[in-house]
């Protein structure tokens, strides 16, 4: 157990150092920083907000990733400073297994995340129902969420190469 905890801390520490290096804006054009799946998972585990437990990321193919966690939506909303209200707190009471599959594309300093499927407590949500939930619930609560639209990458990042095994961060000009 101690060895697993030490490895997780080391992976988190490594990811944190790499992200701090990218954020320092000291990397020159063409520099590449590799974040391994282990580092990404350790970072997600350590940085998960209240209401999110056991986050896990799996990159299944180029550009396609699946994230899963146990989510207490009420605790998550309260942690973000939102009151879920009586009805929603009763509907969303308790922890639920959540899985999200999304496609990430990026180039020329821009990226886009398109959510393809969400599963909550074994119920799959995709297509028009997923679009409805994203636009009427997710974006209503988190209007700055960069979902289904392009957004600028910061720190001179040109692109993110998402592939099984990890993500390469490529610095541009």
pLDDT of residue 108: 97
Q: pLDDT tens digits for 11-64?
A: 999 999 999 999 999 999 999 999 999 999 999 999 999 999 999 999 999 999
User: Is pLDDT of 135 > 90?
Assistant: no
Confidence of residue 167 (pLDDT cuts 50, 70, 90): very high
pTM of the predicted model as reported, rounded to 2 decimal places? 0.85
Neighbouring C-beta atoms of residue 82, cutoff 10 Å: 13
């Amino acid at each position: 157990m101690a060895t697993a905890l030490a490895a997780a801390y080391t992976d988190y520490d490594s990811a944190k150092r790499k992200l701090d290096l990218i954020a320092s804006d000291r990397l020159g054009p063409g520099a590449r920083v590799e974040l391994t799946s282990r580092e990404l998972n350790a970072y997600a585990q350590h940085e998960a907000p209240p209401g999110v437990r056991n986050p896990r990321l799996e990159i299944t193919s180029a550009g396609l990733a699946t994230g899963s966690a146990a989510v207490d939506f009420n605790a998550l909303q309260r942690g973000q400073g939102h009151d879920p209200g009586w009805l929603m707190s009763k509907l969303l009471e308790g922890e639920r297994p959540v899985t999200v599959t999304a496609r990430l594309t990026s180039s020329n300093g821009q990226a886009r995340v398109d959510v393809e499927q969400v599963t909550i407590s074994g119920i799959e949500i995709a297509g028009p129902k997923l679009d409805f939930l994203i636009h009427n619930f997710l974006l209503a609560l988190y209007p700055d969420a960069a979902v289904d639209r392009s957004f600028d990458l910061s720190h001179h990042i040109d692109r993110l190469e998402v592939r099984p095994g990890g993500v390469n961060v490529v610095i541009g000009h």
